[in-house]
Structure 1
Amino acid sequence: MSYILLRYNGLYIFDDNLEKFQKIDLELNLDDLKEIYKNKLPEKVKNYIKENDIFIGQRFDGYKYTEDINIIRKALEKIGEEKINNKLFIDLLKEQISDSISKDEIIIQAISFLDDLNKSLNLFMERFREWYGLYFPEISQEIEDHEKFIRTIINSNREELMKKYNINKTMGGKIFEKEDLEIMNKISLKIKELYDLRKDLEDYIEKLMREIAPNLSEIATPKIGARLILLSGGLKELSLLPSSTIQVLGAEKALFLHLSKGIKPPKHGVIFNHPYLQKLPPKRRGAMARTLASKISIAVKADLNKKIIYQKLKEELDKRFKELSEK
């Protein structure tokens, strides 16, 4: 029986009294270090290990080890200071960072970008409507939806729009010239491209959500599911939350006012946008939100374990919605 100590500058094989040792120089590479960090012994090391050998303070799958502090201290004192390959450690750190990036982190960035894009679009549209209102205010009043408005006016002059919407006279200014209309049309085309980008991004988020969290996507909808992942910090973090917390995620301000000023607690956060809550009268939404949050909690745990159970959860959710609808 020998004591074994694997270090980055070689393999140390001690006798059973830790008095003498043999050092075997090994050229450990990045793949070897990754194996070691996973508690697996690299193949190039296995050839030197016998059946009853004991590793000192190191645990490897299928091998004996000891965590006796006296043995560890004595062995380290014997070998002295070791020379470490800094470049190898930097490469290992980069690999570990790269491996740690998960799909739900991509979802967090995508849904955050979508939020920023929506804010920018609203800001651009408010400014553009004011500008366009100087030219043709009636059409702006006729079409409330921003996206529909921008798609309607692109490449259409005032006379064409007046005829299309049966507007006989306009209060729009008469001073607009060709170059004024050209710049407004260019801006409207760029804003339309942003709306197209938003649609592409929403489709991408839905595809990604159905790939990594199919149960959550079916129960909460892909967009609400993505927002829950964003608010909790990740899929794993969301799975650790109780359903009562999931229910009010996104309603932190209202919850703070409840705790500080005693106003009524919020019944729901971002899950308020779920179709089932939207279709129910206000007095039934609290009960539906509790059921929905409970099913979301189960769905997320199933997604982490790569199990598909949304059909059963959806049936239970549909049943509860029907009960509340008929009350």
Structure 2
Amino acid sequence: MSSGVQYLLFEEPTGYALFEVALQPETIGSRLKEVQDSATDLAKFGKFVKLVSFAPFKGAAHALENANDVAEGTVNEHLKNLLELNLPKRSKKKKIVLGVSDLKLASGIKESMKGIECDTSEVVQDLLRGIRLHGTKLLKQLQEGDIERAQLGLGHAYSRSKVQFSVQKNDNHIIQAIALLDQLDKDVNTFSMRVREWYSWHFPELFKIVSDNYTYSKLILFIKDKTSLNESSLHDLAALVNDDAGIAQSIVDAARVSMGQDISEQDMSNVVTFAQKAVSLADYRKQLHGYLVEKMNTVAPNLSELIGEVVGARLISHAGSLTNLSKYPASTVQILGAEKALFRALKTKGNTPKYGLIYHSSYIGKAAQKNKGRISRFLANKCSIASRIDSFTDTPTTKFGEVLKKQVEERLNFYETGAPPTKNSDAMKAALGATQDLMDE
């Protein structure tokens, strides 16, 4: 712009200030160095700008409302009135150049107020930086420390409001829980293998009888030294192996003829301690799974009903939030989690993947090999619908999930027998009717 910036909008915690640029050098290039050199000196910087008007906020709530509007690039009535009352009249031939620090707000002003051009160049940022530095002196209505106190209060209020109204605040717990659950699965498996290898030096036959890692670790804590087992131990052993007397007897018999070596009390103490850790970790994994199920049924009940809590949680985690997942088209949901395979296929011009995370759904496993791609596409479509309902509904319910689940089962049956499935419009009407009845109750 040859004429350069004419006015500056300064947003600060106590209100909006409008400044006029007093000096207008011929070119921005010559002006930039001059502004930068004088920014720290109030006597020099005061020659560049002159206060036109200051519009203070009415209170903390009003300040927070305006801070949110600035962040969204919205021009509210308070700001609009300040600009309308204090800027000169504009026309098609004569436009006002207003310096603004925020790009979103600059776009909002340009769209909502005709005749105003917004400048966010480096020169404008330097001018606003100087105003921020000398704010207390330039805004004579304010006393020393007013801006700092307002900054602190508004900063805390703005942060609290962002946390409170964040669209990700509920599903963030799901994202963390499923990530921890996956990590625990790996850790429990690793620890159990180590326990088995360590204890097998003493009682190698035990794992051939009981292959379940959790039960195996519980048995170690009960048996400890294999020589302690006898007929009187059968009842307690049976309680640890689902009351199976045959397995309990096999353990006692194997202990009598075991080829394992004897180990010292110190070694056994370490084995038992490690087994306790493995059992404790497995118990916590069960507890965390229960928490995840409960959380998913609260945050995404329809998605949970349709595809299961764990697979649904993985979809939400991979998308980043339930809102992000709801914005994805069904084609993206279908291959979510298979991005590497997709890009590799595109690069080599091979076959693109038919499914990603939804492959772990039981529906894909039930389908015949030739129908896996078709059912994954149909399931992704229903998952997309369920996530949108969960994300944007005001009354959480599982009715839509139940209907969508029935549709997927009918589609599987259609592939096998040719029986016509329910039309989507009829299914949605049934779900809406069930939801309405639930609300009426």
CA distance in 1, matches of 2:389, 2:173: 20
Shift in Å, 1:300: 0.8
Which runs of 5 or more residues in structure 1 are unaligned? Answer: 14-19, 41-45, 59-64
- 8 Å CA contact 2:195–2:217 kept in 1: the answer is no
Instruction: Identify if the C-alpha distance between structure 1 residues 152 and 280 changes in structure 2 by more than 3 Å, giving closer, same or farther.
Output: farther
Cα deviations by residue, 1:163-207 (Å, 9 ceiling, x for unpaired): 44342522211x313332222122212211111110111111111
RMSD over aligned Cα atoms: 3.9
Aligned residues with identical type, % of pairs:
30
Residue from 97, 108, 112 that aligns with 2:179? 112
CA distance in 1, matches of 2:322, 2:364: 23
- 8 Å CA contact 1:295–1:313 kept in 2: the answer is yes
Name the residue aligned to 2:410.
319
Residue from 64, 85, 110 that aligns with 1:34? 64
CA distance in 1, matches of 2:220, 2:381: 46
Shift in Å, 1:297: 0.8
Q: Which amino acid aligns with 1:133?
A: S
CA distance in 1, matches of 2:347, 2:258: 52
The TM-score with structure 2 as length reference comes to 0.58
- 8 Å CA contact 1:235–1:304 kept in 2: the answer is yes
Q: Which amino acid aligns with 2:403?
A: K
After TM superposition, list the pairs within 5 Å mapping 1:76-115 onto structure 2.
81=131, 83=135, 84-85=147-148, 86-99=151-164, 100=166, 101-115=168-182
Name the residue aligned to 2:73.
none
Shift in Å, 1:133: 1.3
Name the residue aligned to 2:200.
133
Name the residue aligned to 1:143.
210
Secondary structure at the aligned position of 1:317 is classed as: helix
Name the residue aligned to 1:301.
388
CA distance in 2, matches of 1:39, 1:28: 15
After TM superposition, list the pairs within 5 Å mapping 1:262-277 onto structure 2.
264-277=351-364
CA distance in 1, matches of 2:266, 2:417: 60
CA distance in 1, matches of 2:368, 2:204: 37
CA distance in 2, matches of 1:236, 1:186: 44
- 8 Å CA contact 1:54–1:66 kept in 2: the answer is no
After TM superposition, list the pairs within 5 Å mapping 1:9-88 onto structure 2.
9-10=14-15, 28-29=59-60, 31-39=61-69, 66=113, 68-69=115-116, 81=131, 83=135, 84-85=147-148, 86-88=151-153
Cα deviations by residue, 1:111-167 (Å, 9 ceiling, x for unpaired): 111111111112212222111111111111333322232233321242357744342
Q: Which of 212-221 and 299-308 deviates more?
A: 299-308
Cα deviations by residue, 1:2-44 (Å, 9 ceiling, x for unpaired): xxx995434779xxxxxx9775655743x3322224459xxxx
Name the residue aligned to 2:318.
231
How many residue pairs end up in the alignment?
Answer: 303
- 8 Å CA contact 1:55–1:66 kept in 2: the answer is no
Q: Which amino acid aligns with 1:169?
A: V
Residue from 155, 170, 174 that aligns with 2:258? 170
Cα deviations by residue, 1:276-313 (Å, 9 ceiling, x for unpaired): 22233333322221111110011111111216422321
CA distance in 2, matches of 1:25, 1:252: 51
